[in-house]
Structure 1
Amino acid sequence: MSYPHLDAYSRLLRGAYEAVAAGQSWPHAPRRLIKASWLRSLDAGIDLEGTSAPLVIDPSHIRDLRDDHPLRPLLPLLAQTLAGLADASGHVMIVTDGDGHVLWREGNHTTLSRADGIGLADGHQWSEQHVGTNGIGTALATGRPVHVFSEEHLMRVLHVWSCSAAPITDPDSGRVIGCVDISGTSRSLHPATVALVATTAKLAETQLALRMHERDERLRRRYESLRSRPGVLLSATGRVISGDPAGDLGERVHLDERTHFAGRRMILRDGSVALLEPFSDGYLLRPALPTAPPLLTLSFLGERPPSASYGDRDRPLSLRHAEILTLLALHPHGLTAEQLSFHLYGDDGNPVTIRAEIHRLRAQLGDAIAAKPYRLTCPVEADFLALRRMLPAGDPASLARSYPGPLLPRSESPEIRRERDELEAQVRACLLRHGTPEDLWTYAQTCNGRDDYEILERLAALPPTDPRSAAARSRLLS
C-alpha cells in the first residue's frame, strides 16, 4: 500500500470512521480490502470503543500450546528474520496460531509495554470476530498479507498503531496454522513492511514443506520395508503418500481430528470400509469388514472414582472427563463446544478449554466421540441412565440396589447438579413411600442417606432387637 498523501488519506479515513461510529452512511469508503473487513467486523458486533483484545487462554496453558504448535521449530528462523528488525525499529514481532491467539512475541521493550495495554500479548485473541479490522485478524480472514494503517483499525484505541501481517499455511494439512505480524506506532511502520512479512511467511512455508517431504520419505521407507502389511500409507494429516497408484482416494483422506488409537473404521468416498491403523508417524488404511462399535460403560454413581470401560479395557477418568461424558450421554444428539462449556462452567466457561479436554478424552476413547457437534457414536450403558429408566416402575428394591450414591458428587457443573438432585429426590421419595426396612437401610449407607433424618427415624422405629434400629438411633443422637 502506498499513499503519496498520507495526511489526506488519514482525513478520509477519519471521516469514514466517524460516520461508522455515528451509524451514518460513509461519505468516502476506505480501500476495498478494509471496507470488506469493516463490514465483517460490524456484522460481528465489534465495539468501536473497546480497549483491548480479549484474553481467552489461561497463561498456564500457553506453554503446552506452544510446544504442540508446528511453528515452534521455526521460531529461530522467524526471530532471525524479523525480531531483530522489530527491536531496532521500535516495533514488535507477533506470531499467532491459526485462530489469532498470540503465542509468541519479541521486540522493542518500550513498545512491548505499550502492547500489553491493548492485549497484544500472549493468550489474547486477535481475530476480526473479537477485535475487528487489524493486521492479524484481517490476514487470517482473507488468507493474504495485509497492512492495516492507523484509522483503518475499527477499534478506536488501535488508531495509534499500524501493522503488517501475513498468514502461514501448512503444506501438510493445507490449513492456515498461524500468522506473523510486525506492529508499531502508525507513522513509524512503513507500509512496505508487509512485503518483508509476506516473504518471511513464505520462507516459513518453504521450511514446513521441506520438513514434510523429509517425514514423507522416512515414512515411505518404513512402509516399503513391511511388504507383509499392504495398505494405503497416509501422513498424520491424511495426505496419501503411497499405495494408491490409481488415485482413487484423491490427494487426501479426510480425518475429523488427529487420532492416536488403533482400529478406527472409516467409510471411504467409494463407499468401502477401511481400518485406520497408526503406523509410525502416520497411518495405514487397510480393507476391513464392518463390525459393531464397542460398548462404552460408565460408572458415575456413588463416592468411588468415576470410571469407564470401552471395548475390553477399563479406564479411570478425571472428574472433568467424567463430566463431559455425562453431558454427552444426557444429550445423545450432541453438544457444541460452547454448549458443553456453558453446561460445565455456566457463563464463565471457555470453549477453548473444552476443545482441549475433548482432544485429551478422544486420545483415550478414540472415535467413540465425534465432532461437530460433539456426541457419542457408540452404544452407551451408564449407571445413572439405567437408574433413570427404573424410576417410572417405582420398584424400591431395584432402586435401592442400583443407587450407591449421588451422580458425580464432587461435580459443580450446573447441569450435572440438576440431574444429581433430581435422581436423589426421586429415589428417596420412592423409598420413603414404598421401601422396606432393607431398602431404607441400603439407602442409609449412601453419603446422603447416612444423615437423612426421616430415613433414620423410620429405621429407629424397628424393634429394639434389630441392629439397624440401634445404628439409626446412634446416628440420630450424634
Structure 2
Amino acid sequence: MPTPAPAPERAQSALPLGTDPREHARRLQRTRLAVLGGAGPRAGQPVRTVIGASWRRSRGSGLDPAGAGEVPALGDAALAEHRRASGLEPLMPLLRSRLLPAAEAAGQIVVVADAGGRVLWREGGAAVRRRADALGFVEGSAWDERAVGTNAIGTSIVTGEAVHVFAAEHYAEAHTAWTCAAAPLHDPVTREAIGVVDLSGPAQTVHQSTVALVDAVARLVELELRAEVEQRLAALREVADPVLRALDGPAAVVTPDGATAAAREVEVPRRVWLPTGLRPGPLWLPSLGAWTAEALPGGWLLRPAGPAAGAGTTATGVVLDLSARPAVLRVASGEGAWEHPLTPRHADLLTTLARHPEGLSAAQLAAAVLGDADRTVTVRAELSRVRRALGPLLAHRPYRLAVPCAVVTG
C-alpha cells in the first residue's frame, strides 16, 4: 500500500494529535537549540517545513535568536493613522464577536495586524495582556519576521496561509513560552494580503483547534469583504456607464484602490496598481504606459494619453526600498514615476530577483523565499499578480527583472 502524502500545512496544528503539550514543548526546545546552534535536528526531532523555512529567513535577516526585535512601537497618532489606512476597522465587530469569547475562555488575546505585521488591535483579558506587554506584544508593535523572527503573524504573512507556532518553534528565545495561531486576510479582488488575525497566549493555553478556528473566521471575513466590494463596484458602474457612453475612444473606471469597475475599447486587469498619492492629471503605469486620471464620485476615470500609450515604456530607474514599512517599489521612466507599497511576500520575491539578475526558476524562488522548492504554484501565482503591475519589467522563463533594481535596506 502506498504511503499517504503528508497533510498540507495550511491550518495545520503545531501540536500533534494525542501529544502531551509539555513533553512536546521540551522536544521542540531541544530541536530548536540544536538547529539554531548549527548542529541540525537529531533523528526523531524533525522541524516542520514551515518553521524550518522561517528560521532560515530569520537567520538570513541577521536576527539573533537570543534577543528580541527592537523596532519601536507606533505612537498614538501613528497607530490611529495605520488603523485608518488599513481599512480593517469596519471588520472589528465581526472579529470580536467570533473570536473574543473563545480567546477569553482560553486565556488568550485576539490580535489584528496590518499586512506589514504591525499590531493594530489587541484585545482580551487583563492578565494575558500584561504577559503580552512583557514581550513587547503591544498595539503598534512590529510583528513581521524581519522584526522578531518566526511567529504566527509574521510567518503567515510570508506564506499566505494560516500558521500555528507553538513554544520553541518561535525564533526568539523570549517568545518560546508563547503559542499563537494566525491567518491572513486577503483582498477579494487581488488576493493580496490586507491584514492578519491572530489568537495568542501562554504556551499552556495551546489547543489543536485554534488555528482551524482562526482560519475559518478569516475566510468568513473575506466573504463579507467580497460582498462589500461587489456593492461598491455596482455603485461605481452606475456612475461610470453614462460617462463611458459619452466618450470616444478607450477608457476604464476603477475604484480608489484600483479595482476595475468598467472598461471600453481597452483591456485592463481586474485591478490596476495605482501609484501612491494619485492625483488628477498625467499618470504613468509600468504595465499600461502613459494615461490620464480624472476623479469620479467613488473612483477614477483612466484614459490612454495617446494612440502610442501602452506597456513597454523603458524604465530609467527601479528602487526597492526595504527600509520603508511596508516596503515600497519605485519606478521612474521618461514619462513619469510610479510608487507602490508591497506586501512582505512580494518584497521578498522581488528582493531575491534583484539579487539574482540572471533569473531564477519558480522552484528556485520557492526554495529561496518559502523554503520549499515544491511550492511553485504559490510562487507563480504571486508573481503573476506582480507582473500585472510591472508589465514587461518582470520577465519570465526564467523569472527576472528586465532592468537593474537597487535595493535600499536602511
Q: TM-score, normalised by structure 2?
A: 0.68
- The CA distance in 1 between the partners of 2:135 and 2:268, in whole Å, is 47
Quote the offset at 1:92 in angstroms: 0.4
- The CA distance in 1 between the partners of 2:339 and 2:305, in whole Å, is 23
> Paired residue for 1:17?
32
Match of 1:48 among 37, 41, 65: 65
The 8 Å contact of residues 55 and 124 in structure 1, kept in 2 or not, is answered as: yes
The 8 Å contact of residues 237 and 258 in structure 1, kept in 2 or not, is answered as: no
Q: Kindly tell me: are residues 221 and 87 of structure 1, through their superposed partners in 2, closer, same or farther at Cα, counting changes over 3 Å?
A: same
Does 2:274 match 1:262?
no
- The CA distance in 1 between the partners of 2:48 and 2:327, in whole Å, is 39
- The CA distance in 2 between the partners of 1:215 and 1:143, in whole Å, is 26
- The CA distance in 1 between the partners of 2:215 and 2:147, in whole Å, is 24
- The CA distance in 2 between the partners of 1:153 and 1:251, in whole Å, is 38
- The CA distance in 2 between the partners of 1:221 and 1:163, in whole Å, is 45
> Paired residue for 2:50?
33
Q: Kindly tell me: are residues 354 and 49 of structure 1, through their superposed partners in 2, closer, same or farther at Cα, counting changes over 3 Å?
A: closer
What's the CA shift string for 1:407-426, capped at 9, x where partnerless? xxxxxxxxxxxxxxxxxxxx
> Paired residue for 2:227?
210
Quote the offset at 1:50 in angstroms: 1.5
- The CA distance in 1 between the partners of 2:227 and 2:340, in whole Å, is 33
Question: Which residues of 2 match residues 11-410 of structure 1 at below 5 A?
Answer: 11-27=26-42, 28-51=45-68, 54-226=71-243, 227-229=245-247, 231-244=251-264, 248-257=267-276, 259=278, 261-266=279-284, 273-289=290-306, 351-352=324-325, 370-371=338-339
What's the secondary structure of 1:126's corresponding residue?
coil
> Paired residue for 1:296?
none
- The CA distance in 1 between the partners of 2:82 and 2:263, in whole Å, is 34
What's the secondary structure of 1:225's corresponding residue?
helix
1:264 maps to amino acid = P
Quote the offset at 1:139 in angstroms: 0.8
**In terms of Rg, which structure is larger?**
1
1:371 maps to amino acid = E
State the identity as a percent.
Answer: 32
Quote the offset at 1:181 in angstroms: 0.3
Which piece of structure 1 moves more, 140-149 or 231-240? 231-240
What's the secondary structure of 1:116's corresponding residue?
helix
Q: Kindly tell me: are residues 353 and 131 of structure 1, through their superposed partners in 2, closer, same or farther at Cα, counting changes over 3 Å?
A: closer
Q: Kindly tell me: are residues 235 and 210 of structure 1, through their superposed partners in 2, closer, same or farther at Cα, counting changes over 3 Å?
A: same
The 8 Å contact of residues 132 and 155 in structure 1, kept in 2 or not, is answered as: yes
- Larger strand share, 1 or 2: 2
- The CA distance in 1 between the partners of 2:285 and 2:118, in whole Å, is 34
What's the secondary structure of 1:264's corresponding residue?
strand
Quote the offset at 1:53 in angstroms: 6.1
What's the secondary structure of 2:303's corresponding residue?
strand
2:90 maps to amino acid = P
- The CA distance in 2 between the partners of 1:182 and 1:36, in whole Å, is 22
2:27 maps to amino acid = L
- The CA distance in 1 between the partners of 2:25 and 2:226, in whole Å, is 41
2:271 maps to amino acid = R
What's the CA shift string for 1:122-164, capped at 9, x where partnerless? 1111111111111111111110001111111111111111011
User: How many residues were matched structurally?
Assistant: 309
1:61 maps to amino acid = A
Quote the offset at 1:223 in angstroms: 1.2
The 8 Å contact of residues 146 and 194 in structure 1, kept in 2 or not, is answered as: yes
- The CA distance in 2 between the partners of 1:130 and 1:83, in whole Å, is 26
Quote the offset at 1:264 in angstroms: 2.5
- Larger helix share, 1 or 2: 1
What's the CA shift string for 1:181-233, capped at 9, x where partnerless? 00011121202111110111111111111111110011001112333246321
Q: Kindly tell me: are residues 181 and 285 of structure 1, through their superposed partners in 2, closer, same or farther at Cα, counting changes over 3 Å?
A: same
What's the secondary structure of 1:243's corresponding residue?
strand
The 8 Å contact of residues 65 and 173 in structure 2, kept in 1 or not, is answered as: yes
What's the secondary structure of 2:246's corresponding residue?
coil
What's the secondary structure of 1:371's corresponding residue?
strand
Does 2:17 match 1:3?
yes
What's the CA shift string for 1:413-440, capped at 9, x where partnerless? xxxxxxxxxxxxxxxxxxxxxxxxxxxx
- The CA distance in 1 between the partners of 2:185 and 2:218, in whole Å, is 5
Q: Kindly tell me: are residues 251 and 81 of structure 1, through their superposed partners in 2, closer, same or farther at Cα, counting changes over 3 Å?
A: same
What's the secondary structure of 1:87's corresponding residue?
helix
Q: Kindly tell me: are residues 136 and 270 of structure 1, through their superposed partners in 2, closer, same or farther at Cα, counting changes over 3 Å?
A: closer
Question: Which residues of 2 match residues 458-473 of structure 1 at below 5 A?
Answer: none
1:130 maps to amino acid = A
What's the CA shift string for 1:376-424, capped at 9, x where partnerless? xxxxxxxxxxxxxxxxxxxxxxxxxxxxxxxxxxxxxxxxxxxxxxxxx
The CA RMSD measured in Å over matched residues stands at 3.0
Quote the offset at 1:172 in angstroms: 3.6
What's the secondary structure of 2:129's corresponding residue?
helix
- The CA distance in 1 between the partners of 2:98 and 2:302, in whole Å, is 41
- The CA distance in 1 between the partners of 2:159 and 2:104, in whole Å, is 28
What's the CA shift string for 1:299-354, capped at 9, x where partnerless? xxxxxxxxxxxxxxxxxxxxxxxxxxxxxxxxx9787757xxxxxxxxxxx84499
**Which consecutive unaligned segments of at least 5 residues does structure 2 have?**
1-12, 309-315, 342-410
The 8 Å contact of residues 100 and 124 in structure 2, kept in 1 or not, is answered as: yes
Q: TM-score, normalised by structure 1?
A: 0.59
